Structure 1
Amino acid sequence: MTDRSDADERPTDETPSIAPDTLADRLRSDDTTTVLDVRDRDEFERWHLAGDGVEAVQIPHMKFVQAQATGDVTDLAADLEEPIVAVCGHGEASAHAVGLLREAGIDACNLAGGMDAWADLYAARELDVDAPATIVQYDRPSSGCLAYAIYSDGEAAVIDPLRAFADRYVAAADERDAEIRYAIDTHVHADHVSGIRTLAERTGAAAVVPAGATDRGLAFDATTLEDGDGLRVGDATLTAMATPGHTTESISVRLESGDSGILFTGDTLFLEGVGRPDLEGGAEGAAAAARRLYESVRERVLVQSDETTIAPGHYSDAAEPRADRTYATRLEAMRDRLAALSMDEDEFVAHATSDLPTRPANHERIVAANLGLEDIDEETAFELELGPNNCAVGA
């Protein structure tokens, strides 16, 4: 790690800083932000702040220590466009760098808490939709992961919960005086450690998975959902809809509300693309999986009414949030915007299997953990899932 414990390199109350949630808002704007990462190169390459509005630059902290001794801080930052946000692991080394930059007259501030605090940021926002329930979307900007809590008449269900934030769901349900009845995964996740078992242990909720997860080696007791199965949450009904392709067992979950229901699509359909088809079967199985995904999108999702709200399991930098900063939209808007939704089958398969991004880091261990095949502690789980979401194929 590049953080140093020397007293003069610790952040002080005088160090100008930016909170993680404020930085998230800035990165959603059209302004370009220079992010100066003072961690070592391997840490930077493993995971760093990125996005359309981010100019990421890595200069190790030791160079700032050396520049402090030689008086060359201005030269070190000569090519950096201001304003600058400096980051490190915990916010200490970057605070030291910010102090030096500001002494040199450079507009810089520190990311409070560093990348650890960035990974810990988890925003909860209510979806403005017409539904027989209150729906809260949980947003983890560091990875683009989205989860949902559905509240109705003193009961709740959580869809695609993250283990790292299990306490948040429990506390929120307590605040609403609601009992969590179900913790549901739409598929066996490869990019984050699932929280369904943790929620089941802490609240007595049923851990719920698609029925096909058993074929992938599910090693813990869970309620399984077949296509068409329903779960009652207060006055609301959640219905499972088989949508294989991203994985063989993938489901979407529909919250019934007349013609204008809400469809939680997991990793089947995103606002800016579709789920990648190679995480389960590798490159050799990607084409067959893409054909299953095509069928799911065409025959299960696109037959829903135009008024259906699509609530995905992830978002990327290409996704545009709504005015309330949530990531959801009506299916009608997606039909017009996403080219993949109007492709024929062969075009779709070619699109879904070409130029795929790097697989999510540690995906094999994460899948094993989510199937119950490997036990990992909380610290290891948190480390395994650090990094961007790579589960999507672009529009």
Structure 2
Amino acid sequence: MTDRSNDADRSDDGEASIAPAELADRLRAGDELTVLDVRDRDEFERWHLEGEGVEAVQIPHVKFIQAQATGGAADLVADLEEPIVAVCGHGEASAHAVSLLREAGIEARNLAGGMDAWADLYLVRELAVGAPATVLQYDRPSSGCLAYLLVSGDEAAVIDPLRAFADRYATAAADRGADLTYAIDTHVHADHVSGVRDLAARTDAEAVVPERARDRGLAFDARTLTDGAELPLGEATLAAVATPGHTTESLSFSLADVLFTGDTLFLEGVGRPDLEGSAAQRAADSRAVEPRDGSDEAPAAARRLYESLRHRILERPDETMIAPGHYSDAADPRDDGTYGARLGDLRDRLAAPSLSEAEFVERATNDLPPRPANDERIVAVNLGLEDVDEETAFELELGPNNCAVAD
């Protein structure tokens, strides 16, 4: 089941454009595409479309304006493979470029709505897990963020909701005859603005966060959980599992044979251990009831992550379904388009389970990707230390999440 209610199923202006949902399908299938980005270089470098079969090329729109006068639009893309998908911020400049290219006989389509529409695409599919609940997986292709709606009886819970799409979860629960009971974060996110506070304010859902978020400066009212705490949900039970490492407070949540691992374990790697050492976190620590002693440097965090993986996750049965909080281009979706895997398969696929602690720490702390865009400010917002409006929140989280260490 796939819901694309916030986006047209397909573009309505013919072959000259491609809707975000259709582009997501093609990227997921690994289709080879040339993505022509006509934004300025700094915008392109900050964030651009990527994928297994994608070659991303930046040619500023001004060059197409010049080419319109000279008739040389085809020359600008002479070295590019077709088909071409052109993108810009809102879909207007790229539409102009596409019109020139198509007039020159080049197979090109415009991403309808541009990168804004791409960031606004949110897909939902049912995760077939055999659990005592219906589990819906929400997928934001622009960042790889995953959230989950769990419905059991007349109660529902959402895990790692995004503020930008907060209205979607309660509506989906109501469509299934349930009320949203809990809005849960597995940890203090650094890559996207959490929807937990927003959902608690606009529905009867209870905000739920890890207890150790208080040590990081949590500044809003929420129910906090420690290892082993349980949340009754209709005919099911959610159990908190302490899995520190990506952050000190990280929790995973088990639902029968399903483990929602947040940013601890992914299908293609593990959570990076260095995101708490930011200026924003130091500021948060200064407000905390018990300021930390500086022991949360990356190697120490990586050792905690290693222990969490070895003793809290990998010791579980092979049939445990791992439902991660993110995915990257390296992750392969299941046949139904969802992202999840048997723990036994991940043991065989990933290197981390076979590494010694020293090997793991070295791998997890070296050659890390750039930090998520605006991570320090996002952390402050998610702790309740700063309030931002919806437009600002949306802008803060644009770009790749970069929360993983590739295996």
Q: Shorter chain as normaliser: what TM range?
A: over 0.9
Superposed, which structure 2 residues align to 1:227-376 within 5 Å? 227-256=227-256, 261-281=257-277, 285-376=297-388
- Residue aligned with 2:125, SS: strand
Aligned-partner residue type, residue 204 of structure 1: D
- Residue aligned with 1:386, SS: coil
**Structure 1: 5+ residue stretches without partners:** 1-10
- Residue aligned with 1:295, SS: helix
1:29, distance to aligned residue in structure 2 (A) = 2.1
1:18 matches 2:14:
no
Aligned to 1:145: 145
| Distance in 2 of aligned mates of 1:208 and 1:12 | 41
1:71, distance to aligned residue in structure 2 (A) = 0.9
Aligned to 2:226: 226
| Distance in 1 of aligned mates of 2:77 and 2:227 | 57
- Residue aligned with 2:180, SS: strand
| Distance in 1 of aligned mates of 2:328 and 2:118 | 16
Aligned-partner residue type, residue 355 of structure 2: M
8 Å Cα contact 2:15/2:109 also seen in 1: yes
Aligned to 2:3: none
Aligned-partner residue type, residue 393 of structure 2: A
8 Å Cα contact 1:160/1:194 also seen in 2: yes
Superposed, which structure 2 residues align to 1:193-212 within 5 Å? 193-212=193-212
Superposed, which structure 2 residues align to 1:114-153 within 5 Å? 114-153=114-153
- Residue aligned with 1:269, SS: coil
| Distance in 2 of aligned mates of 1:130 and 1:170 | 23
8 Å Cα contact 1:316/1:389 also seen in 2: no
- Residue aligned with 1:366, SS: helix
8 Å Cα contact 2:186/2:262 also seen in 1: yes
Aligned-partner residue type, residue 327 of structure 2: Y
8 Å Cα contact 1:184/1:196 also seen in 2: yes
TM-score of the pair, normalised by structure 2: 0.92
Q: Using the TM superposition, name which of 370-379 and 276-285 deviates more.
A: 276-285
| Distance in 1 of aligned mates of 2:374 and 2:115 | 19
- Residue aligned with 2:339, SS: coil
8 Å Cα contact 1:15/1:99 also seen in 2: no
Aligned-partner residue type, residue 389 of structure 1: N
Aligned-partner residue type, residue 261 of structure 2: T
Could you tell me the percent identity over the aligned residues? Answer: 75
8 Å Cα contact 1:37/1:57 also seen in 2: yes
Residues 182-238 of structure 1: CA deviation (Å, up to 9, x unaligned) = 000000000000000111111111000000000000000000001000001100100
Aligned-partner residue type, residue 227 of structure 2: D
Aligned-partner residue type, residue 141 of structure 2: P
Aligned to 1:54: 54
- Residue aligned with 2:244, SS: coil
| Distance in 1 of aligned mates of 2:356 and 2:155 | 42
1:173, distance to aligned residue in structure 2 (A) = 1.4
| Distance in 2 of aligned mates of 1:94 and 1:249 | 43
Aligned-partner residue type, residue 103 of structure 2: E
Aligned-partner residue type, residue 88 of structure 2: C
Aligned residue pairs, count: 381
Aligned to 2:394: 382
| Distance in 2 of aligned mates of 1:330 and 1:26 | 25
**Structure 2: 5+ residue stretches without partners:** 1-10, 279-294
- Residue aligned with 1:90, SS: coil
Shift >6 Å, 4+ stretches:
none
